[in-house]
């Protein structure tokens, strides 16, 4: 189980990040929804649809953790793509309603992680994810994709611990995808080693996340050529 104090803290931060994401989405008019996002090939509506779909999919990891019965997030990659496309094609009000419902449902279901856990670790993209990190993973999704909407909201507005959640999720993904060897260091004294740790990269949490997730190297210091990273 997740200790009650930690679960309360994680869900409180998730609620804050989700509320800010929803406020940004509600401020967008139809034409703004069809504008490009920072995710290559995706409009803002696609990003919103992905966050909506992701909230529902991650509930399956909660089911797995609590029941011990293995669950897949999506039936297949095609099913995932089709679900996102269908949501993105909805009229604005319906898409916003689906986003709100997904956020509410995940937060409610995550309360179950405060009880008995049958599977301490679940599988995500072929790698083990501690059941205690499912809520943190959802926080990471919301923060990174809020940034991807490319609006007046800036990543500096996220809670510092939410940025840490996002960085840990991105680092986990980069390790699984065979990223170049790096030692990542933040001004807040976080440190992660990927592969052989050969290249040292330093920034604050915001700058490091913008580079790792979306390739914006403006705010990082590197002791060599900036490497090309696999997509998050």
Encode pLDDT of 51-80 as tens digits. Answer: 999 999 999 999 999 999 999 999 899 999
- Tell me the torsion sign for CA atoms 156, 171, 182, 224: negative
Domains of the chain in start order, with CATH, are 4-153 (1.20.120.450), 162-232 (3.30.1050.20)
Asked whether the predicted pLDDT for residue 232 surpasses 80, the reply is: no
* Count of positions (residues) in the chain: 232
**pLDDT bucket at 111, cuts 50 / 70 / 90:** very high
Asked whether the predicted pLDDT for residue 4 surpasses 80, the reply is: yes
Separation of alpha carbons 186 and 206, rounded Å = 9
Asked whether the predicted pLDDT for residue 175 surpasses 90, the reply is: no
**Is there a contact between 56 and 138 (Cβ–Cβ < 8 Å)?**
no
Predicted local confidence at residue 126, as pLDDT = 76
Whole-prediction pTM value? 0.92
Predicted local confidence at residue 80, as pLDDT = 95
Q: What is the DSSP string of 90-136?
A: S-HHHHHHHHHHHHHHHHHHHGGGGS--S-SEEEETTEEEEGGGHHH
Beta bridge partners of 202: 185, 221
Predicted local confidence at residue 205, as pLDDT = 96
Average pLDDT, the chain: 94
């Amino acid at each position: 189980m997740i200790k009650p104090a930690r679960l309360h803290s994680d869900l409180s931060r998730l609620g804050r990040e989700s509320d800010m994401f929803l406020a940004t989405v509600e401020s967008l008019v139809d034409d703004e929804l069809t504008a490009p996002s920072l995710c290559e090939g995706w409009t803002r509506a696609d990003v919103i649809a992905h966050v909506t779909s992701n909230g529902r999919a991650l509930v399956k990891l909660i089911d797995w953790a609590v029941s011990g019965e293995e669950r897949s997030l999506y039936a297949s990659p095609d099913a995932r793509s089709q679900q996102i496309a269908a949501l993105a094609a909805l009229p604005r009000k319906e898409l916003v309603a689906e986003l709100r419902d997904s956020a509410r449902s995940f937060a409610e279901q995550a309360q179950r992680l405060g009880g008995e856990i049958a599977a301490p670790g679940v599988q995500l993209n072929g790698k083990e994810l501690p059941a205690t990190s499912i809520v943190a993973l959802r926080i990471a999704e919301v923060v990174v994709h809020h940034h991807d909407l490319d609006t007046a909201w800036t990543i500096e507005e996220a809670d510092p611990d939410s940025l840490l959640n996002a960085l840990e999720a991105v680092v986990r993904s980069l390790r699984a995808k065979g990223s170049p060897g790096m030692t990542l260091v933040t001004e807040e004294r976080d440190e992660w080693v990927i592969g052989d740790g050969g290249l040292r990269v330093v920034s604050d949490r915001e700058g490091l996340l913008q580079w790792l997730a979306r390739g914006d190297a403006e705010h990082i210091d590197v002791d060599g050529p900036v490497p090309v990273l696999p997509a998050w």
